Chains A and B, each alone.
Chain A
Amino acid sequence: MDERAETSTPPIAAARPRHSLGEFVGRLAKIEGAAIALVLILLLVLFMFTAPRAFTGYRIYMSFLATVPPPMIIALGLTLVATAGEMDLSFPSIVAFSSYVFSALYQNYELTWLAFAAALLTGSVLGFANGLIVTQLGIPSLIATLATLFLWGGLVTVVSNGVSVAIPEIVNETIHTIFVGRIGVFPVQILWAFGMVVLIWFILHRHRFGEAILFIGDNPRVARVVGIATNLEKVKLFTLMGVLSAFAGVLLTMETNTYFSSQGMGYLLIVIASVFIGGTSIFGGSGMVIGTMIGALIVAIIEAGLVASGIRGFWTQFFIGVVFIVSVTMNTAIADPDKVPLLKRLRSRARN
């Protein structure tokens, strides 16, 4: 949809004289992720003033290119889930579970690729179970996955006896180099994350599965009438979400060389924030993959930037909350200003 905006805009712009700046901004805003990319740039500029030493060097960027891939990959999955009008809150526990499976298999049997495969399988089974609970028990996904957040989280704590698993030797393995190694100072995992951005974009905008997701989120009744097997597609969706969460879990474990049972819990807020800061509709039926990618970068930059600016770390969550509300409002207003009651009132007053 965004490339339509790019291809169709030039001839129109050439055909008639330039109008107002507002029109230009309006058209720019229609390109996927453009508005939110502006927010990212503003934040970067802001932090360059408040923390010049950190933000003009490359180190801080390399640091968050190393830490942002796991939440970004989960957020990509959640973008699809939210586009279908559903929610998944259980991913922190799937991160922990798959991370435990990977660490335990590596520690006990020195398995690497098989451990990786087992971790992804774990994620797909847990995601599949989420899908079944949502479609077969008919529990709304927000509640169902809140329950499985506890369920899978509790289960992995029991299985692991609540102790953490350290796997420092993993850094000598090929799998470590391939997934979280460094090219010079550049962290490899961000390439995997960008690869996933491309893959998920194509799934949502160019694949029949993505089309099913769009229509289910838009109007489930229409989706059924046009012949989409809504339950089947939802189960596939939650399974994919599980696999992506598991992949993120393995990346995290390899980067930090440890598993612990509350691993992934820190992602709950920032992943959800990334998706909706990025402009995916909170009402379903429209998803912004590029927006999610930028949203994840914004959240990471806020975390790093505040600390580097000498503001106490406690403020991080507060600040993410502020950006969350501002971005969601902005995204809603870009789609339809009348959907924001405050703006609607101001506009109608301005007209009179």
Chain B
Amino acid sequence: MTSSPLVRFENIGKNYGKIVSLKNITLEIGANEIVGLIGDNGAGKSTLIKVLTGVETPTSGNLYIHGRKINTAGYNVRRAHELRLETVYQDSSLGEKQPLWRNFFVGRPITNWLGFIDVKAEKKIAEHIMRTAIGFRSAGISVDTPVSHLSGGERQGVAIGRAMHFDSDLIILDEPTVALALKEVQKVLDFIRSIKAGGRSCIYIEHNIHHIHEVCDRLIILDRGELALDTPTSAMTYPELSEFLLSLHTPTSGAN
């Protein structure tokens, strides 16, 4: 990772009025790297993601994507898509009554000049991605299956597969395993591994540090708007990680 990183935050700060949400954050996301983002509610995880995806404008600092400085004033969600950053939200990325192939291409369908959709081509590509990149093995699922028939884990798979197909360099997963059964969680973790195998990067936001420790290359911990830890996963065992997190929670233990 000596070449320019995919994303670089440089002294990024964000205030909402008097409330400081992010303080001087400097960190990098490298190419083909799975980064786990950990932190309590209000630690600044979502703000950091919102700054990255153009939903919020930072109060201070610089943002670099693909090595180029982003003019944060003119940066928005559309630009983020153009720069190939894709966010997969927990429950608001798929149309439930619509078949899988439509969900795959919605928003950027393959059409002729009149705007009519090439259904055959879309189904074929959707089929291919589902079988290979995402590895849907379940026999009951075809590209015509409505999303409402899929399990929670499979839905995350569709959303991740979609992001990968559209050549996203960085896929941001916002707590994808919330409310999933254990078996489903394993599926999602497999999808995350397929992101790595596909040569892309991922920011994985998660409450369950066990999952994070299992699949991530690097761990980033935010605490009250500040960067508390940025370390390769290999440098920290799971018990060490959970101990570190507990130490953050001890109320101002070592203060003066």
* Given A1-B99, A225-B89; A208-B94 close (CB under 8 Å): no
Contact B92 A214 (CB under 8 A): no
CB neighbours (8 Å) of A214 from chain B are 95, 97-98, 102
Contact B144 A211 (CB under 8 A): no
Contact B81 A207 (CB under 8 A): no
Can you show 29 pairs from A to B with CB atoms below 8 A apart? A1-B99, A1-B144, A8-B144, A206-B117, A206-B119, A207-B115, A207-B116, A208-B111, A208-B115, A208-B116, A208-B117, A209-B115, A211-B102, A211-B106, A214-B97, A214-B98, A214-B102, A215-B95, A215-B98, A218-B96, A222-B95, A223-B95, A225-B93, A227-B81, A227-B108, A228-B107, A281-B97, A285-B95, A286-B97
A219 touches B (CB below 8 Å): yes
What's the Cα separation between A214 and B95 when bound, in Å? 8
A219 partner, pick from B81, B92, B99, B119, beta carbons under 8 A: B92
A218 partner, pick from B89, B98, B111, beta carbons under 8 A: B98
| Nearest CB on B from A205, distance (A) | 8
What's the Cα separation between A222 and B90 when bound, in Å? 11
| Nearest CB on A from B55, distance (A) | 11
What's the Cα separation between A222 and B92 when bound, in Å? 5
Known: A218-B96, A285-B96. 10 other contacts (CB 8 A): A8-B144, A207-B114, A208-B109, A208-B117, A215-B102, A219-B92, A219-B95, A227-B78, A227-B108, A228-B107
Residue of chain A at shortest CB distance from B143: A4
User: In the complex, how many residue pairs between chain A and chain B have their CB atoms under 8 Å apart?
Assistant: 62
A226 touches B (CB below 8 Å): yes
A221 touches B (CB below 8 Å): yes
Q: Which residues of A contact B (CB under 8 A)?
A: 1, 4, 8, 202, 206-209, 211, 214-215, 218-219, 221-223, 225-228, 281, 285-286
User: Chain B, 35-60, contact with A by CB distance < 8 Å: what is the 0/1 string?
Assistant: 00000000000000000000000000
| Nearest CB on B from A53, distance (A) | 46
| Nearest CB on A from B155, distance (A) | 11
| Nearest CB on B from A329, distance (A) | 19
Residue of chain A at shortest CB distance from B105: A211
* Given A202-B116, A208-B117, A228-B107; A218-B95 close (CB under 8 Å): yes
Which residues 130-148 of B sit at the A interface, judged by CB distance below 8 A?
Answer: 144
| Nearest CB on A from B118, distance (A) | 9
Contact A218 B107 (CB under 8 A): no
* Given A8-B144, A228-B107, A285-B98; A211-B93 close (CB under 8 Å): no
| Nearest CB on A from B80, distance (A) | 11
CB neighbours (8 Å) of A219 from chain B are 92, 95-96
Residue of chain B at shortest CB distance from A285: B97
Contact A221 B92 (CB under 8 A): yes
Contact B97 A207 (CB under 8 A): no
| Nearest CB on A from B93, distance (A) | 6
| Nearest CB on A from B207, distance (A) | 22
| Nearest CB on B from A220, distance (A) | 10
User: Chain B, 72-112, contact with A by CB distance < 8 Å: what is the 0/1 string?
Assistant: 00000010010000000100111111110010001111010
What's the Cα separation between A334 and B89 when bound, in Å? 31
Contact B92 A225 (CB under 8 A): yes
| Nearest CB on A from B119, distance (A) | 7
Residue of chain A at shortest CB distance from B102: A211
Contact A206 B96 (CB under 8 A): no
Residue of chain A at shortest CB distance from B117: A206
| Nearest CB on B from A201, distance (A) | 12
CB neighbours (8 Å) of B78 from chain A are 227
CB neighbours (8 Å) of A227 from chain B are 78, 81, 107-108
| Nearest CB on A from B81, distance (A) | 7
